[in-house]
Amino acid sequence: MRKLASYSLIALLFFSTSLVDSQKVSAESVDDAEQQIQEKKEKQKEIEEQKSELQSDKKETEEKIEENQNKQDNVNSEIDTIDQELSGTREEIEAKENEIADTNAQLDKLSNQIDELNEQVEQLKEDIQKLKERIEQREELLKDRLRAIQSNGGSMSYIEVIFGAESFSDFISRSSAVNTIMDQDKNIMETHKREKQEVEEKQAEVKGKKENVEQKKAEVEEQKASLENQKQELESLKSQLDEQMSEKESLLNELEEEQNHLEEYKVSLEDEQEILRKQEAANQKAIEAAKQEKEEMNQLSKEDNSNSSNLGGNGMFSWPVSAGKDAFTSGYGQRWGKLHAGIDFGIGVGTPVKSAASGVVISTHTDTDGTMNGYGNAVLVSHSIDGTSYTTLYAHLNSISVSDGQTVSNGQTLGASGNTGHSTGPHLHFEIHKGGWNASKSNSVNPLNYLP
């Protein structure tokens, strides 16, 4: 009886001790759940702050895009103005070239006229020379006549010749001869006078024409020089306009390139906003799950259930592929001057890819949706391990088996490996981020430090 009582006391003490230990574990689990809830709420605040920063950054980027577009519009307007000026200048240059061509034609015509007048001058010189010879002949004839008169005493006149006739018929003959001589002398003098006057007039006329043509040619040459100067000024203006056009086109190219960068940056911001939105949804879902788990723990505590679930975890991630480190091909760190923010596993297309820890799917991305550029088909999963938030990334998948907001367990298949996105061959690219994922990879850590 005393021994039975002793055994009963021992059993009672053991049961009492076990009950206290059970309550202690339950209390710690509830506190842990509450801590996780608070951490998730803090995470929500961080996400809200990041969303606010992204929205502010996006707004600033949109303002820069609008400002850039206004600059492009202004430059395009300036280019149109310069193009119109260039068009007008080209037309003026063409008109000047036509005027210069017409002027050259006039100069050629005037040069031909001058040549013709020079020929006429030469011909007149020949005519004058011939006239001089005829005049000399006439003068010689007159001199002979005078010498004949002088040889007869020098005082004989035409009257004496006539009245010196010996008969009437001689009188008639002498009268006729005297008339003939007088007419010849008169004709000689008149012809001499007329031809001399004609030559002088012709000479004066040709000289006047030549002077007029030479003056006209000088005026046309002056006009041509003026046109050449105007054309040169227009050519100089055209060169300036061409230079301005080149500068404006270069500026426009720079603005368009800047616009492309801004548009790409805006898209990346929108991608990050979408990822944050999904992270927020996943985090909220995790909060609800933690609250539900806390309620279940409270209920189990009330029912003195000593088989409470284990929430602690070991603080380690599991390998995302069954081959583990045997499939490891490339590590974390700088590669070709750029951060390789994860590790690679060389596995064939279709190999199952598993979640490295329990968590919530933040988002899924395909090779064609324009997000997560370069990653191809990818999955982002949010985890909470020992009170710390992590995000894992699984990229270049051939197929995806989960959806946004889905709760996944450690080792659950997320999809199959592939060769999508910027990939040089079939493999899995795996990243761990302490906190949320962002495009700059600022939260990335070396996965090998967190794997078994």
- The pLDDT tens digits of the residues spanning 270-283 come to 777 777 777 777 77
pLDDT of residue 61: 87
Q: Is the pLDDT of residue 162 over 60?
A: no
Mean pLDDT to the nearest integer, 229-244? 85
DSSP letter string over 427-448? BEEEEEEES---TT-TTEE-GG
Q: Contact, 445 vs 433, CB < 8 A?
A: yes
Q: Is the pLDDT of residue 445 over 80?
A: yes
Q: Contact, 64 vs 307, CB < 8 A?
A: no
pLDDT of residue 293: 67
What does the domain layout of the chain look like in residue ranges? 83-249, 312-452
Mean pLDDT to the nearest integer, 350-358? 95
Share of the chain above pLDDT 70, in %: 76
- Tell me the two tokens of residue 265: 């940056």
Burial 110-148 (b: 16+ CB within 10 A, else e): beebbeebeebbeebeebbeebeeebeebeeeeeeeeee
Q: Of the ranges 4-8, 58-62, 428-432, which one carries the lowest mean pLDDT score?
A: 4-8
Higher pLDDT, 6 or 220: 220
Burial 39-72 (b: 16+ CB within 10 A, else e): bbeebbebbeebbeebeeebeebeebbeebeebb
pLDDT of residue 381: 95
Phi then psi for residue 451, to 5 deg, are: -100, 160
Contacts of 330 (CB under 8 A, 6+ apart): 340, 343, 344
Q: Is the pLDDT of residue 347 over 70?
A: yes
Report in angstroms the alpha-carbon separations of 268 from 263, 264, 271, 337: 9, 6, 5, 21
State pTM to two decimals.
Answer: 0.46
Phi then psi for residue 12, to 5 deg, are: -65, -45
Higher pLDDT, 88 or 426: 426
Phi then psi for residue 383, to 5 deg, are: -130, 155
pLDDT of residue 115: 84
Residue entry with tokens 């806390």: 294
Confidence of residue 19 (pLDDT cuts 50, 70, 90): very low
**Nearest to residue 281, comparing CAs of 357, 364, 353, 341?**
364
Q: Give the CATH H-level superfamily of domain 83-249.
A: Methyl-accepting chemotaxis protein (1.10.287.950)
Contacts of 173 (CB under 8 A, 6+ apart): 165
Q: Of the ranges 50-64, 286-300, 344-358, 379-393, which one carries the lowest mean pLDDT score?
A: 286-300
pLDDT of residue 165: 58
pLDDT of residue 251: 86
Burial 180-195 (b: 16+ CB within 10 A, else e): eeeeeeeebeeebeeb
On average, the pLDDT of the chain sits at 78
Question: What count of other Cβ atoms lies within 10 Å of the Cβ of residue 401?
Answer: 16
Residue entry with tokens 């909060």: 287
Contacts of 401 (CB under 8 A, 6+ apart): 413, 414, 415, 416
Q: Of the ranges 207-221, 333-347, 372-386, 432-446, which one carries the lowest mean pLDDT score?
A: 207-221
Give the C-alpha separation, 320 to 354, whole Å.
5
For the structural domain made of 312-452, what CATH number should be given? 2.70.70.10
DSSP letter string over 181-248? HHHHHHHHHHHHHHHHHHHHHHHHHHHHHHHHHHHHHHHHHHHHHHHHHHHHHHHHHHHHHHHHHHHH
* Helix runs in 152-167, H state only: 158-163
Mean pLDDT to the nearest integer, 221-230? 84
Report which DSSP code applies to 304: T
User: Of the spans 128-137, 217-226, 416-425, which averages the highest pLDDT?
Assistant: 416-425
